[in-house]
A and B are shown apart, each in its own frame.
Chain A
Amino acid sequence: MSNAKILTSNPCWTTLEDVLALSESDFWQGIVENITYNDFRVLSLFCTPNETKFDIFCILGNDNTSLFKIFRHTLSSKKFQSHTETIPQIHLFEREIAEQFGITLDGAQWIKPVRFEQDFSLHVKKSSCGDMEYFQIDGDDIHEVGVGPVHAGIIEPGHFRFQCYGENVANLEISLGYQHRGIERAMIGAPYKQSLAQMEAVAGDTTIGHSLAHIQLLENMSNIKASQKAETIRALLLELERIANHVGDIGALAGDVGFITTASYCGKLRGDYLNLSAKITGSRFGRGGISFGGVGYDVDFTLASEITHEMEKLKPKTLGAINLFFRTPSVLERIENRGKLAYEDIINYGLTGMVAKSCSIQRDARKNYPFGYYNNISFDIATESSSDIFARAMLRKDEIIASFELANTMLIKIREMPNEKYHTAQKPKLPPNSLGVSIIEGWRGEIVHVAITDKNSKFSRYKIVDPSFKNWTALSLAMKNEQISDFPICNKSFNLSYCGFDL
Chain B
Amino acid sequence: MFLILKERFRQGYNTSDFPLKEPILSDRFAGLPKIMGTCKDGCDICLELCPTDAIKKSGDAIDIDLGRCIFCDLCAKECPEHIIKFTSQYRLSSNNRNALFISKEVENIGFKLNKKIQKIFGRSLHLRQVSAGGCNACEADLNVLGTPTYDLNRFGINFTASPRHADGIIVTGPVSLNMKDALLETYNALSEPKIVIASGTCAISGGIFKNNDEVCCGLEDILPVDLYICGCPPHPYTALHAMLQLMGRI
Once the chains are docked, how many angstroms separate the CA of A283 from the CA of B146?
Answer: 20
User: Residues of B within 8 Å of A, CB-based: how many?
Assistant: 69
| A185 close to B10 (CB less than 8 A) | no
Q: From B11, which residue of chain A is reached at the shortest CB distance?
A: A265
Query: Within residues 421 to 435 of chain A, which ones have a CB less than 8 A from any CB in chain B?
Result: 422, 424-425
Q: How far is the CB of A97 from chain B (nearest CB, A)?
A: 18
Contacts known (A197-B70, A268-B148); A275 close to B26, Cβ less than 8 A: yes
Counting chain A CB atoms within 10 Å of each CB, the highest count among B70, B131, B212 belongs to: B131
| A267 close to B135 (CB less than 8 A) | no
| B74 close to A287 (CB less than 8 A) | no
Q: Does B20 contact A (CB under 8 A)?
A: no
Once the chains are docked, how many angstroms separate the CA of A497 from the CA of B146?
Answer: 21
* B129 contacts across to A, CB distance below 8 A: 154
Q: Does B203 contact A (CB under 8 A)?
A: no
Report A164-199 CB contacts with B as 1/0, cut-off 8 Å.
000000000000011111110110000001101110
Q: Does A356 contact B (CB under 8 A)?
A: no
| B177 close to A125 (CB less than 8 A) | yes
Q: How far is the CB of A70 from chain B (nearest CB, A)?
A: 29
Q: How far is the CB of B161 from chain A (nearest CB, A)?
A: 4
Q: Does B208 contact A (CB under 8 A)?
A: yes
| A179 close to B133 (CB less than 8 A) | yes
Contacts known (A129-B178, A181-B174); A285 close to B7, Cβ less than 8 A: no
Q: From A177, which residue of chain B is reached at the shortest CB distance?
A: B178
Q: Does A258 contact B (CB under 8 A)?
A: no
| B176 close to A320 (CB less than 8 A) | no
Q: From A280, which residue of chain B is reached at the shortest CB distance?
A: B28
Interface residue from A198, A204, A288 paired with B233 (Cβ < 8 Å) = A204
| A154 close to B159 (CB less than 8 A) | yes
Query: Within residues 271 to 321 of chain A, which ones have a CB less than 8 A from any CB in chain B?
Result: 271, 275, 278-285, 287-288, 297, 316-317, 320-321
| A149 close to B3 (CB less than 8 A) | no
Q: From B14, which residue of chain A is reached at the shortest CB distance?
A: A268
Once the chains are docked, how many angstroms separate the CA of A155 from the CA of B143?
Answer: 9
Binds A, one of B33-41, B49-57, B93-101, B240-248: B49-57
Q: How far is the CB of B218 from chain A (nearest CB, A)?
A: 12
Q: How far is the CB of A93 from chain B (nearest CB, A)?
A: 20
| A201 close to B137 (CB less than 8 A) | yes
Q: Does A446 contact B (CB under 8 A)?
A: no
* A280 contacts across to B, CB distance below 8 A: 28
Q: Does A342 contact B (CB under 8 A)?
A: no
* B28 contacts across to A, CB distance below 8 A: 278-282, 297
Q: Does B77 contact A (CB under 8 A)?
A: yes
* B49 contacts across to A, CB distance below 8 A: 193, 425
* B232 contacts across to A, CB distance below 8 A: 287
| B211 close to A186 (CB less than 8 A) | yes
Once the chains are docked, how many angstroms separate the CA of A281 from the CA of B146?
Answer: 24
Once the chains are docked, how many angstroms separate the CA of A498 from the CA of B140?
Answer: 13
Report B116-132 CB contacts with A as 1/0, cut-off 8 Å.
00000000000001111
| A285 close to B137 (CB less than 8 A) | yes
**Which residues from chain B sit less than 8 Å from chain A, CB to CB?**
3-4, 7-8, 10-11, 14, 25-30, 48-52, 70-74, 77-78, 129-144, 146-149, 159, 161-163, 173-174, 176-179, 181-182, 186, 208-209, 211-215, 232-233, 235-236
A-B contact list, 11 entries, CB within 8 Å: A154-B159, A157-B131, A178-B132, A179-B133, A182-B214, A183-B209, A197-B52, A281-B28, A284-B141, A424-B77, A499-B133
